[in-house]
Amino acid sequence: MGLVTMKEILDQAELEGYGVGAFSVANMEMVMGAIAAAEELRSPLILQIAEVRLTHSPLHLMGPLMVHAAQNATVPVAVHFDHGLTQEKIKQALDLGFTSVMFDGSHYKLAENIEKTCEIVTLARTYGATVEAEIGQVGGSEDGSVDIEMQVTNTSEAKQFAAQTQIDALAIAIGNAHGNYQTEPQLRFDRLIEIDQQVKQPLVLHGGSGIKSADFRKCIRHGIRKINVATASFRQIIQRINQNVKRTPYQDYFSYTDDVVQSMKENVMYHMKIFGSEHIS
Ligand code: 13P
């Protein structure tokens, strides 16, 4: 199995009607935990890192690590560059062997977003890589540095955008937001259903941390195929470490790193079971 494009993973999910988790990683232990979860559950996996995270986890180090881990996995794994903002970093990810990139032009006006996304599609096609793009604006921000106001995706704009850019997956905003939800998210299923009827490409839900299992399943029934999860993994790891330190401070470094791997693994498995992607590979 090993390294595959995100398109291959999403096409299969579309055929069989399940969702696939795209889990953000920041270091080797998180990569190991995610791969271990996917292999144990026989689930496809999308490993991703966002451009805004690169100050903590540099791309020239994380990229080869993610690609090698995917190549050696016994289940299909796509390596995805999340929320690419600049052509320079997107190209660097492609040069490192990422099999998928997201261009996030959601803050541009429609025509400009289409134009810039088309440039990325042309670039990515020369690598045989998958392209995800966004229309409407998911609230919050990937690393919490700015609080972007949510703008629910307009259905006819989504249809035009998907047709004109020929992207492989479309991220939409239906009441979802990055980071911790202040109040329980109220997803706009009416809008999701409309978009799903008008857009042929698989749909992507960002801001997966804190959405109820029943809502995840309903999203998957209506065309969401890729679900991004970051905050829930970071939160689970920190909680485990804090609990352990409070009980008995670590005596050796490797007990600590083993706990990072294990808590990432548990969070990834938890989500894969909800998304229905286990026992697929
Ligand atoms: P959360 O941090 O809310 O899980 O969102 C992750 C995400 O959408 C990454 O693009």
Give backbone dihedrals phi and psi of 91, rounded to 5 degrees, phi first. Answer: -65, -40
- For the Cβ of 139 lying below 6 angstroms from any atom of ligand 1, the answer is no
Instruction: Please tell me the distance between residue 247's alpha carbon and the centre of ligand 1 in angstroms.
Output: 30
Q: Is 147 a catalytic residue?
A: no
Instruction: Please tell me the distance between residue 49's alpha carbon and the centre of ligand 1 in angstroms.
Output: 10
Specify if 281 maps to a domain.
no
Q: Which of 42, 176, 44 is nearest to 100 (CA)?
A: 44
Reading the block at residue 5, the tokens are: 């494009």
- For the Cβ of 191 lying below 6 angstroms from any atom of ligand 1, the answer is no
Amino acid at 77: V
* Residue 78 near residue 9, CB atoms below 8 Å: yes
pLDDT digits (tens, 9 = 90+) for 178-211: 998 888 899 999 999 999 999 999 999 999 999 9
Instruction: Please tell me the distance between residue 249's alpha carbon and the centre of ligand 1 in angstroms.
Output: 31
Specify if 79 maps to a domain.
yes
Specify if 44 maps to a domain.
yes
pLDDT digits (tens, 9 = 90+) for 20-50: 999 999 999 999 999 999 999 999 999 999 9
Q: What is the mean pLDDT of the chain?
A: 96
Cα-Cα end-to-end distance for the chain: 9
Give backbone dihedrals phi and psi of 14, rounded to 5 degrees, phi first. Answer: -65, -45
Mean pLDDT of the region 53-79: 98
Specify if 90 maps to a domain.
yes
Q: How much is the pTM?
A: 0.97
Specify if 239 maps to a domain.
yes
Cα–Cα distance, 211 to 215 (Å, whole number): 7
Find where tokens 């660097």 sit.
Answer: 92
- For the ranges 177-186, 195-204, 230-239, 268-277, the lowest mean pLDDT is seen at 177-186
Mean pLDDT of the region 142-165: 89
pLDDT band at 145 (very low <50, low <70, confident <90, very high): confident
* Residue 213 near residue 274, CB atoms below 8 Å: yes
Q: How many CA atoms lie within 13 A of 142 on its CB side?
A: 21
Q: How many domains are there within the chain?
A: 1
How confident is the model at residue 47, as a pLDDT? 98
The closest-lying atom of ligand 1 relative to the alpha carbon of residue 177 is 3
- For the Cβ of 29 lying below 6 angstroms from any atom of ligand 1, the answer is no
H/E/C letters for each residue in 15-83? Answer: HHCCCEEEEECCCHHHHHHHHHHHHHHCCCEEEEEEHHHCCCCCHHHHHHHHHHHHHCCCCEEEEEEEE
Alpha-carbon distances, residue 220 vs 121, 188, 198, 243 (angstroms): 26, 14, 16, 34
Q: What percent of the chain has pLDDT over 90?
A: 90
- For the Cβ of 137 lying below 6 angstroms from any atom of ligand 1, the answer is no
10 Å CB burial of residue 14 (0-12, 13-18, 19+) is: middle
pLDDT band at 139 (very low <50, low <70, confident <90, very high): confident
Find where tokens 């993994």 sit.
Answer: 233
Specify if 93 maps to a domain.
yes
- For the ranges 110-114, 177-181, 258-262, the lowest mean pLDDT is seen at 177-181
Residue 53 has pLDDT above 80, yes or no: yes
How confident is the model at residue 279, as a pLDDT? 87
Q: How many CA atoms lie within 13 A of 269 on its CB side?
A: 14
What is the span of the domain harbouring residue 180?
2-275
**Residues annotated within a binding site for Zn(2+):** 83, 104, 134, 178, 206
Specify if 9 maps to a domain.
yes
CATH of the domain at 68: 3.20.20.70
Q: What is the DSSP string of 137-202?
A: B-BB-TTSSS-BPPBPPPHHHHHHHHHHH--SEEEE-SS-BSS--SS-----HHHHHHHHHH--SP
How confident is the model at residue 234, as a pLDDT? 98
Instruction: Please tell me the distance between residue 142's alpha carbon and the centre of ligand 1 in angstroms.
Output: 6
Specify if 280 maps to a domain.
no
Task: Determine the residue of 82, 228, 235, 236 to mutate for testing ligand 1's pocket, defined as the one with the most ligand atoms within 8 A of the Cβ atom.
Answer: 228
The closest-lying atom of ligand 1 relative to the alpha carbon of residue 229 is 4
Mean pLDDT of the region 100-115: 96
* Residue 170 near residue 161, CB atoms below 8 Å: yes
Amino acid at 142: E
